[in-house]
Amino acid sequence: MNKFFTILAFLILPSSFCFSQKSKMQFGIINKYEQNLVTYEKDPKAEAVIIFDAGKSKFIDADGGYNIKFTRKKRIKILNTKGIALSKISIPFYTDGYGKTENITSIEAYCYNIENGKIVRKPLDQKNIFKEQINNNWKVKKFVFPDVKKGSIIEYKYTLETPFLFNLPDWTFQDKIPTIYSEYSVHMIPFYEYTYIAQGTSRFDFNTSTISENKRTWGIVNHGFATGVGNGIEFAEKINVYAMKDVPAFRDESYISSPEDYFVKIDFQLSKINQPNGQVKDIVSTWSKLNKGLLDNSKFGKYLNKSKKLAKKILASQIDISSKNETLNQKNIINYVKSNFNWNGVNSKYASKTSKEFLSQKSGNSTDINLFLCALLKAAGFDAKPAILSTRNHGKIRGKHPFAHAFNNTIVLVKSEKQTYLTDGTDALLAYNRIPINCINEKGLIVEKDNPKNWIKLSTKVNSINTKSINININPEQLIAETDLSIQTNEFESLALKNSLKNDTLKIKEQLIKNGLTEIQTISTLNYNRNNLAYIINCKGKSQIEKIGNKIIVSPFLNFPIKENKLKEMKRSYPIDLIYSRTKNFESTINIPEGYKVNTLPKNYKMDNGLAEIKLECVKNENNIIVKGTYSFKKSVYKPAEYGGIKSYFNTIIKKFNEPIVFEEIN
């Protein structure tokens, strides 16, 4: 289980540990151990190892206030060719869109190789550092180390300056490769107080808090005998150091919400500002304040209120809510938003424009759209409330602490006599009473005045089904099979298929060829834009038949069944998150070719318990063979203790559903 705690005191361990590690962290100096390292003894299968990763945050003077200067230096040993991929480095930095931005002020990087018994150092050419826009708020600086190969040592350091004091840079001790030593030091000043959450650990290998011997000042400080001169403050920094050694690699990334939810890390949140004049300002320290802050914000609560006035005009002229069926009226409102407004791909908990701008431009971020949707539902007399959440790629919400930056998205809760459901207006391919897959991330917070800590589960109990019906007519002379295929999907299985293939004939064809068809004659689809009905793909084509000697080998389900188990570790300390429960059905009818008899058939199999169901049934008739298979994972999320069982079920599915049928030529 992950363990979280808020800083109350500091655990002081012997300083010899820290000093011995620091002696190995001299940038630009490679020692013999690093040169001779061929395999990391604590993780022999590692493709690379982080020798050290050290960060430091320090408050610096800036325009009468303070910015944070964050520096980092990191060294990696490449142990095999797979590790060469780590030579690509990306350093993200944030801009708020209103003039404030983080800046990366320097990058220095080197690659070291042993040539003719000597270390050869090649620096990164500054011309090969590139800046790339990720979205409206995030940019990244990228570079690739030169001449990296097996045995190389790469190291880099950079400095980032940020004006965003609300979010002191966090620190991740763990990576996808093992780490020998990781250290983060924070030089605190008395004007800002932070709370932190440590994730994945209950203690550090080294953790101290000391007072700096160097004095700093704010304002003018008079050390003379005159009175009434100077209004400044003299202070010393409080240096907090957090370090860990021999941190294992985080490898098993399959079926999880986000690796960030499980990395060993430390995350900071500004909790209080102590003004030099003695005034104290508490920053969102309670759930009540977080709710009130949102409801009073021009980009959230005030946006919602102003949207209601515009919503009434739209309801009167553009949306039919005349039905006595309230569900139908709600559906019409939600589908109106889905059809008339475009999501720009940005998730945010704040609107990006005014409601008038959104209405005229017909596009916006997730909160622009969903707060306007909430306003429409409210204006129509329905009980609708906004709910904030963290998307799966942003990480889970830690409910113990009101960290505002932990939320990055808004959806809508609708309550009525017949049903209570969550809805979202950003995805036109999703049913009116469903939220996007990326939003299914444990829990969200309803934003309302009188109930500041009203959590709602984001999980879904709806089972999603994918059914494949296959008809295979074998031509033994040409070693091909005329193949008819029908794929029927609903719920999130349907959405996944729609999002990946876009109802594009070329993309569908490419996917079918990957799954065993060699020639496509016709393709047709049904219900792409009808979210209440199953999405169907029909195909007529040919598939290849394998012949060995006098035997013909046929895969009854083509290449559709999974071939590899993504669960590879022996055990797991975090959940198996499938997002939603699912059922996969297969049914194949294969003709018995003339002049052949059945040699081998898949064996029938059946298991069923509270976690999963697996069933395979093969029936031989006079002229054909019918093979039916189904497997269901009954839960959307499984506990770590259930990992072994789920892993074994995947192994069983791979083995049973890929068993071939063998026909033997009659002499």
Q: Which CATH number is 464-665 given?
A: 2.60.120.1130
What whole-number distance in Å separates Cα of residue 633 and Cα of residue 7?
Answer: 40
Report pLDDT for 667.
Answer: 78
Q: What is the mean pLDDT of residues 59-75?
A: 94
How does the average pLDDT of the chain come out, rounded?
91
Q: Is the pLDDT of residue 576 over 90?
A: yes
Percent of the chain with pLDDT over 90: 77
Do 300 and 351 form a contact (C-beta atoms < 8 A)? yes
Is-same-fold flag (15-282; 287-457)? no
Report pLDDT for 23.
Answer: 44
DSSP per position, 288-305: HHHHHHHHH-TTTHHHHH
Q: Is the pLDDT of residue 3 over 50?
A: no
| CB burial of residue 9 (10 Å; 0-12, 13-18, 19+) | exposed
Q: Is 644 helix (H, G, I), strand (E, B) or coil?
A: helix
Torsion of CA 149, 150, 155, 161, to 10 degrees: 70
What whole-number distance in Å separates Cα of residue 392 and Cα of residue 110?
Answer: 35
Q: Is the pLDDT of residue 245 over 90?
A: yes
Q: What is the mean pLDDT of residues 574-588?
A: 96
Angle, helices 326-340/366-379, rounded to nearest 10 degrees:
150
Q: Is the pLDDT of residue 658 over 80?
A: yes
Give 521 or 22, the one with higher predicted confidence.
521
Report pLDDT for 335.
Answer: 96
Q: Is the pLDDT of residue 258 over 90?
A: no
pLDDT digits (tens, 9 = 90+) for 139-177: 999 999 999 999 999 999 999 999 999 889 999 999 999
Predicted confidence band of residue 98 (pLDDT cuts 50, 70, 90): confident
What whole-number distance in Å separates Cα of residue 343 and Cα of residue 347?
Answer: 9
Q: Is the pLDDT of residue 11 over 60?
A: no
Predicted confidence band of residue 14 (pLDDT cuts 50, 70, 90): very low
Predicted confidence band of residue 4 (pLDDT cuts 50, 70, 90): very low
Report pLDDT for 36.
Answer: 93
Q: Pairing state of beta strands 65-78 and 153-162? A: antiparallel
Q: Is the pLDDT of residue 12 over 50?
A: no
Name the architecture of domain 15-282. Sandwich (2.60)
Predicted confidence band of residue 238 (pLDDT cuts 50, 70, 90): very high
Q: Where are the domains of the chain?
A: 15-282, 287-457, 464-665
Give 406 or 178, the one with higher predicted confidence.
178
Predicted confidence band of residue 239 (pLDDT cuts 50, 70, 90): very high
Phi–psi pair at 294, nearest 5 degrees: -70, -45
pLDDT digits (tens, 9 = 90+) for 613-643: 999 999 999 999 999 999 999 999 999 999 9
pLDDT digits (tens, 9 = 90+) for 415-452: 988 899 999 999 999 999 999 999 999 999 999 988 88
pLDDT digits (tens, 9 = 90+) for 334-367: 999 999 999 999 999 999 999 999 999 999 999 9
Q: Is the pLDDT of residue 243 over 50?
A: yes
Report pLDDT for 83.
Answer: 96
Report pLDDT for 134.
Answer: 85
Predicted confidence band of residue 653 (pLDDT cuts 50, 70, 90): very high
Closest by CA position to 555, among listed 488, 486, 472: 472
Weakest mean pLDDT among 8-22, 84-98, 247-261, 455-469: 8-22
Report pLDDT for 404.
Answer: 81
Q: Which residue has the tokens 């906004």?
A: 386
Closest by CA position to 361, among listed 372, 353, 350, 373: 353
Phi–psi pair at 357, nearest 5 degrees: -65, -45
Report pLDDT for 138.
Answer: 87
pLDDT digits (tens, 9 = 90+) for 605-619: 999 999 999 999 999
Q: Is the pLDDT of residue 587 over 70?
A: yes
Residue 14 CA: distances (Å) to CA of 11, 20, 21, 55, 492: 10, 11, 12, 21, 54
What whole-number distance in Å separates Cα of residue 494 and Cα of residue 536?
Answer: 9
The answer regarding whether domain 287-457 maps to CATH 3.20.180.10 reads no
What whole-number distance in Å separates Cα of residue 179 and Cα of residue 173?
Answer: 8
Report pLDDT for 366.
Answer: 97
Q: Which residue has the tokens 């259930």?
A: 642
Q: Which residue has the tokens 């990992």?
A: 643
Residue 430 CA: distances (Å) to CA of 4, 331, 534: 36, 12, 12
Predicted confidence band of residue 199 (pLDDT cuts 50, 70, 90): confident
Closest by CA position to 422, among listed 471, 473, 394, 461: 461
Report pLDDT for 399.
Answer: 67
Question: In this structure, which amino acid lies at residue 600?
Answer: T
pLDDT digits (tens, 9 = 90+) for 274-298: 988 888 888 766 888 889 999 999 9
Which helix (H) or strand (E) segment is 130 a member of?
strand 130-133
What whole-number distance in Å separates Cα of residue 537 and Cα of residue 468?
Answer: 10
Exposed e or buried b per residue across 464-490, where buried means at least 16 C-beta atoms within 10 angstroms of its C-beta:
bbbbbebbbebebeeebbbbbbbbbbb
Report pLDDT for 251.
Answer: 85
Residue 651 CA: distances (Å) to CA of 579, 657, 658: 20, 10, 11
Tallying the residues shown for the chain, one arrives at 667
Entry pTM:
0.85
Report pLDDT for 202.
Answer: 81
Q: Is 418 helix (H, G, I), strand (E, B) or coil?
A: coil
Q: Is the pLDDT of residue 136 over 80?
A: no
